[in-house]
Amino acid sequence: MKVMPIQKREISDSRIVFGCMGLGGDWNYDPYTHEQVTIAEKAIEAALETGITMFDHADIYKMGKAEAVFGEVMKTKPGLREQIVLQSKCGIRFTDGVLPQRYDFSKSHILSSVDGILQRLGTDYLDVLLLHRPDPLMEPDEIAEAFQQLKASGKVRHFGVSNMTAAQMRYLQKSIEQPLVVNQLELHLSRLDWLDQGILVNRAEGSSLNFDDGILQHCLMEDIQLQAWGPLSQGRFTGKSLEGASEPVKATTALIAKMAQERETTPEAILLGWLMKHPAKIQPVIGTSSAERVKACKDAVRQAELMSREDWYALYTSARGVRVP
């Protein structure tokens, strides 16, 4: 599967993104091991065999080790860099025991973060850089300066955000010359406020929802690719123990298993197919380091195409636990 030029919403022809947060071992500063590099290599190979050519990182994942082991794998595979789209995120700073955990969209931090990302990955450029979480102290003009310098130097080709509202994106875009091409949000079958927000208009039960009204429509109208983190619901419907689970979770797990058996596919493909059926052409970011689980997602695109409106609503209603109004 060849990589397409990023233009507007279509950042690649990879309908699924491989999320690399699971690579690199534990969340500490211990050195990564040869075994962890091997795990990363197997996961990357499984992703490529599945047709996935886009890989998502963040400078904080496993304290930088996720990017570092990915870089080790790329060293052993000449030509791989030109076959894939690399995306990473910056802006979250962990506590060091003195300073608090915080967000930092200052020009100096963005620039230094990108230099660290490129060094760990062993590449000269990122295809996409995302601002990881909204910084209340962000200055759009300062971010614009950082983006312009990164673009001019060739270190970053395209820019986007993660976990941002439509208003926050508009606020940034007023200063940033480059179009924001991605917004990465938590979207999946066990968190449904992104859908409920749209159907509970003028209803009392909709007043407690916390999902930004209009964000999906804004991204669609502005050709901003929606990416979904957590799309497999942390295994809740695809093999995780159901001990103590709610009745809707148990019922939905059974329904997904039934659909998978009838269609001769995997529960993972059904779950992702449901998400990808949405008209926003959502790109799931699967965050597993298991090569086998990556391969289980291979049929997701076909399942999205085959899924009927009735199938989609059956899963949505089952996960909600109550019918739509």
pLDDT at residue 210, rounded to an integer = 81
* pTM for the model: 0.94
DSSP string, 69-111: HHHHHHHTSTTHHHHSEEEEEE-EE---SSSPPEE---HHHHH
Higher pLDDT, 298 or 6: 298
**Mean pLDDT for the stretch of residues 294-301:** 97
- Residue 203 confidence (pLDDT): 85
Mean pLDDT of 230-248: 95
Q: How many Å apart are CA 60 and CA 92, to the nearest integer?
A: 7
Catalogue the active-site residues.
Answer: 61
Dist. CA 196–CA 259, nearest whole Å: 23
The reported pLDDT for the residue numbered 5 is: 41
Q: How far apart are CA 228 and CA 287, in angstroms?
A: 10
Residue 304 has pLDDT above 70, yes or no: yes
Q: What is the pLDDT of residue 10?
A: 56
Q: How confident is the model at residue 208, as a pLDDT?
A: 80
Q: Say whether pLDDT at 8 is over 50.
A: no
Residue found under tokens 């209340």: 136
> Where along the chain do its domains lie?
17-235+275-288
CATH topology of domain 17-235+275-288: TIM Barrel (3.20.20)
Q: What pLDDT score was predicted for residue 2?
A: 42
Residues 102-140: tens digit of each pLDDT: 999 999 999 999 999 999 999 999 999 999 999 999 999
Mean pLDDT of the chain, nearest integer:
94
Q: What is the pLDDT of residue 181?
A: 96
pLDDT over 90 (residue 205): no
In angstroms, rounded to a whole number, what is the distance separating the alpha carbons of residues 172 and 165? 11
User: Is the pLDDT score of 268 beyond 70?
Assistant: yes
Give the integer Cα–Cα distance in Å for 285 and 300: 12
Q: Token pair for residue 30?
A: 């211990």
pLDDT confidence band for 11 (50 / 70 / 90): confident
Q: List pLDDT tens digits, range 27-49.
A: 999 999 999 999 999 999 999 99
**pLDDT at residue 250 greater than cutoff 80:** yes
User: What would the mean pLDDT of 86-107 be, rounded to a whole number?
Assistant: 96
Is the pLDDT confidence value at 295 over 70?
yes
Q: How much is the average pLDDT of 148-170?
A: 97
According to the model, what pLDDT value does residue 3 have?
Answer: 43
